[in-house]
Amino acid sequence: MRERGNGLGGGFAVYGIYPEYEDVYALHAMYMSGGARKATEECLGKNFRILFEEEIPTEEAEVWDPPLVRRYFVEPRSSETSEDEAVADEYVVKSVIKINAKMERAFVFSSGKNMGIFKGVGFPEAVAEYYRLQEYQGYMWICHGRFPTNTPGWWGGAQPFGLLDWSVAHNGELSSYGANRRYLEMCGYNCTMQTDTEVLAYALDLLVRRHGIPPEFVAKILAPPFWTEISHMEHARRCLLTAMRQTYGSLLMNGPFSIVVGHKDGMMGLTDRIKLRPLTAALKGEFFYLSSEEAAIRVVSPDLERVWNPAGGEIVMSRLRDPRILKIPVITTRAVRM
């Protein structure tokens, strides 16, 4: 996959990585200056109980101008907040967005439970070497190699992009970024990372966590059928999709894209409606794979049992039987289509 990148961004999301702290939030932060670290840690100390903190172990590798990267295992200070997971999640989201928007030269780039994002400026293999990822284990991995075209190559803009347990690796470009961003900012999200992938992570958080919409329905918001298709559907389905498009029209992701999305409960992939970017899915036993290229999957698993290319706008999903147990996931090959 090296030819798909140019060394200006690479990264990984790993799930099941912190079993000793699986019930608390793991915050990964990058600091471009010592003052940024001091101000951010004062903010964290006021709002969270920090159970453990350390500099993320790294080693020399071919990455460009690395910042200081640290991790914090935290829980909200308020007893009311910490006892209600939904309230605690909202508290963490607001805290992360505030830090990224208000703290100069400081960014929290990973904030989920029992998962972590590791990213930077370099080819993916160099980023993996830099973070010593060979020392970690997890039940689900996402990798991204970036080739930025109209946004800068910098540490905060590398992918995967994450918020809480969501992580998004994105291939393509969102021509709808402006409309998507304005809608999300009306809902309390500040876009500060100079990349269109950011709106995908925020949209998923808004729709699934805050609005309670199942992921298979979210696909019909991000990459909905064309109006001509909707008009020929049976009445109930036509009414549902019409209402969804009218309500969430500003979250339609226009332009060429394919995405791989991770969450504590599983993984999903989605492309734009006319599939201007590639996506391949595959199965081998209880292993599930998604990639831009079939060849990349076969490097990891040469003898696949099934390989297919999801249609444009069609979501493909895997679900874990129990995400708290570090075992290979049981797969449902596709979500039920509407």
Per-residue pLDDT tens digits for 177-207: 999 999 999 999 999 888 889 999 999 999 9
Task: For residues 325 and 327, give the distance between their C-alpha atoms in angstroms, rounded to a whole number.
Answer: 6
Q: Identify whether residues 136 and 197 lie together within a single domain.
A: no
**Residue 150, domain member (yes or no):** no
How many residues belong to the chain?
338
Q: Identify whether residues 118 and 238 lie together within a single domain.
A: no
What's the confidence (pLDDT) of residue 325?
40
Tell me what the pLDDT averaged over the chain comes to: 90
Span 114-143, average pLDDT:
96
Structural domains of the chain, count: 2
What's the confidence (pLDDT) of residue 196?
87
Q: Identify whether residues 326 and 274 lie together within a single domain.
A: yes
What's the confidence (pLDDT) of residue 79?
62
Q: Identify whether residues 239 and 132 lie together within a single domain.
A: no
Q: Any idea what the CATH number is for the domain that residue 225 is in?
A: 3.60.20.10
**Residue 151, domain member (yes or no):** no
Span 28-53, average pLDDT:
94
Residue 322, pLDDT above cutoff 80: no
Q: Identify whether residues 27 and 164 lie together within a single domain.
A: no
What is the share, in percent, of the chain residues with pLDDT greater than 90? 80
Task: For residues 159 and 8, give the distance between their C-alpha atoms in angstroms, rounded to a whole number.
Answer: 11
Q: Identify whether residues 241 and 107 lie together within a single domain.
A: no
Closest CA to 11 of 170, 163, 135, 164: 170
**Residue 204, domain member (yes or no):** yes
Give the pLDDT band of residue 158 (cuts 50, 70, 90).
very high
Q: Identify whether residues 216 and 128 lie together within a single domain.
A: no
Span 46-74, average pLDDT:
96
Residue 284, pLDDT above cutoff 60: yes
Task: For residues 163 and 110, give the distance between their C-alpha atoms in angstroms, rounded to a whole number.
Answer: 6
Give the pLDDT band of residue 127 (cuts 50, 70, 90).
very high
**Residue 147, domain member (yes or no):** no
Q: Any idea what the CATH number is for the domain that residue 40 is in?
A: 3.30.70.260
Q: Identify whether residues 277 and 216 lie together within a single domain.
A: yes
Cβ(267)–Cβ(291) below 8 Å: no
Which tens digit of pLDDT belongs to each residue from 217-273? 999 999 999 999 999 999 999 999 999 999 999 999 999 999 999 999 899 999 999
Q: Identify whether residues 274 and 334 lie together within a single domain.
A: yes
Residue-number span of the structural domain to which 88 is assigned: 15-140
Between β-strands 10-15 and 115-120, what pairing exists: parallel, antiparallel or unpaired? antiparallel
Q: Give the predicted TM-score (pTM) of the model.
A: 0.91
Q: Identify whether residues 89 and 182 lie together within a single domain.
A: no
Give the pLDDT band of residue 292 (cuts 50, 70, 90).
very high
Give me the phi and psi of 175, to 5 degrees please. Answer: -70, -15
**Residue 176, domain member (yes or no):** yes
Of 140, 173, 203, the position where a domain reaches its end is: 140
Residue 334, pLDDT above cutoff 60: no
Which tens digit of pLDDT belongs to each residue from 67-124? 999 999 999 987 656 568 899 999 999 999 999 999 989 999 999 999 999 999 999 9
Query: 160 preceded by cis ω (within 30°)?
Result: yes
**Residue 239, domain member (yes or no):** yes
What is the share, in percent, of the chain residues with pLDDT greater than 70? 93
**Residue 115, domain member (yes or no):** yes
Of 105, 140, 175, the position where a domain reaches its end is: 140
Residue 327, pLDDT above cutoff 90: no
What's the confidence (pLDDT) of residue 333?
36
Handedness of CA 199, 176, 337, 285 (dihedral sign): negative
Of 87, 106, 140, the position where a domain reaches its end is: 140
Q: Identify whether residues 129 and 187 lie together within a single domain.
A: no
In DSSP terms, which residues pair with 307 in a beta bridge? 282
**Residue 269, domain member (yes or no):** yes
Which stretch of 150-159, 232-241, 254-263, 297-306 has the lowest confidence by average pLDDT?
Answer: 150-159
Q: Identify whether residues 212 and 93 lie together within a single domain.
A: no
